[in-house]
Amino acid sequence: MRTPAALALLTLVGCSSGPSAPAGRPAAAEPASAQPAAAAPPRASAVLSAEPWTYEGARGQVVRTRHYRIFTTESDALLAGRLPAFLEDALEHYRTALAPLPEPELRLDCYLMDNRPQWARLTQRLLGERAAPFLRIRRGGFATRGIGVYYDLGPFDTLAIAAHEGWHQYTQRVFRDRLPTWLEEGLATYMEGHRWKGSTPVFLPWANLERFDHLRVAQSAGTIEPLATFILGRGAANAGEDSGLDFYAQAWALAHFVASERRAGLTRMLDDAVRGRIKLTLQHHARDTRQTIIGEETVARAYFEAYFGDLDVAQRDFDRFLAGVTGAGARDDVVTGRPPAALSR
């Protein structure tokens, strides 16, 4: 269900593409083949090793952690120093926040480049003829075939995009079935939220003012889509435009909705995606409901209803949920990373 270049955003834009199942890495700057994840190191330091690396004459390093290889030319010592542990903590969040999910079998490769020109040239080198839509990303990065590629946007924004694209890297390598676009992108935005406690990131899915503020604007402007059309995922192709910003804000809200009010269905879908059982579940749903699932709209509705129940009922519940999320006082809660108080009334 994910499009070949599904674009994601903060004020940043990122994207994911490629198969969900493990795939061979493209010819890249210099790295060797992917390596198995190592045994767990002491948590005191996420870095297992570091060695020099250069890209087009720019000095950098390759940093290995338990689950990642980081190729970077980053010149900001704070950002370069925080990234390895941040990625490991983000991965732990992916695997535990919503359901128990498996570790990746191989290390995940990511590139953090010092500036956009380096990033653009690397993107062309990695993707060749497929690079054009990625190069239109105004500010951000992307993940494809389990590889994350981004550049320095300042410490907070860079790490937020790393958390978003890290989710895509993870699902591309671990999930045997793809999630529907709205959910894949919604969960990537769900994983962005974090605050810092000293030098340690604390992942709080509600702590995401970029998504929240745009959601309130979209709600006020009446540009929130009905679920019947939103779950087709077409807005993901327009990231960087207002409709793309609307899509990611609504996807963020919908991910929170299913995580809180349709949790059993979400857990089941994630487990099915890991095991490659989503199509089987859809077949059972079609048999049980005596539906013929043909055509984009029917398939999208079946994906939703097989896991989250009747779409019309969900629409009413989501409308109520949105009213609570965007109501008076909600922003104060989001600033602290708490769910809006109105949701518990």
pLDDT at site 291: 73
pLDDT at site 119: 97
pLDDT at 11 over 70: no
Q: Model confidence over 133-170: pLDDT tens digits?
A: 999 888 889 999 999 999 999 999 999 999 999 999 99
At 59, give phi and psi (nearest 5°).
-75, 140
SS3 per-residue string spanning 210-266: HHHHHHHHHHHHCCCCCHHHHCCCHHHHHECEHHHHHHHHHHHHHHHHHHHHCHHHH
pLDDT at site 50: 95
pLDDT at site 241: 52
Helix, strand, coil percentages for the chain (3-state, nearest 5):
50, 15, 35
Q: Model confidence over 170-188: pLDDT tens digits?
A: 999 999 999 999 999 999 9
Could you tell me which residue, 37 or 309, shows the higher pLDDT? 309
Give the pLDDT band of residue 237 (cuts 50, 70, 90): low
Q: Report the pLDDT averaged over residues 38-48.
A: 61
Instruction: Give me the chain's average pLDDT, please.
Output: 86
Structure-block tokens of residue 169: 């890297």
Q: What is the largest CA-CA distance in the chain?
A: 62
pLDDT at site 290: 73
Asked whether 9 and 218 are in contact (CB, 8 A), the reply is no
Nearest partner of 192 among 227, 145, 149, 159, judged by Cα:
159
Query: Rounded CA gap, 243 and 233, in Å?
Result: 12
Could you tell me which residue, 21 or 36, shows the higher pLDDT? 36
pLDDT at 104 over 80: yes
Task: Using a cut of 0.85, tell me whether the model's pTM lies above it.
Answer: yes
With H, G, I as helix, E, B as strand and everything else as coil, classify residue 108: strand
Q: Model confidence over 289-307: pLDDT tens digits?
A: 777 666 788 889 999 999 9
Lowest mean pLDDT among 1-10, 71-80, 162-171, 284-293: 1-10
CA distances from 153 to 16, 116, 227, 269, 314 (A): 18, 9, 33, 34, 37
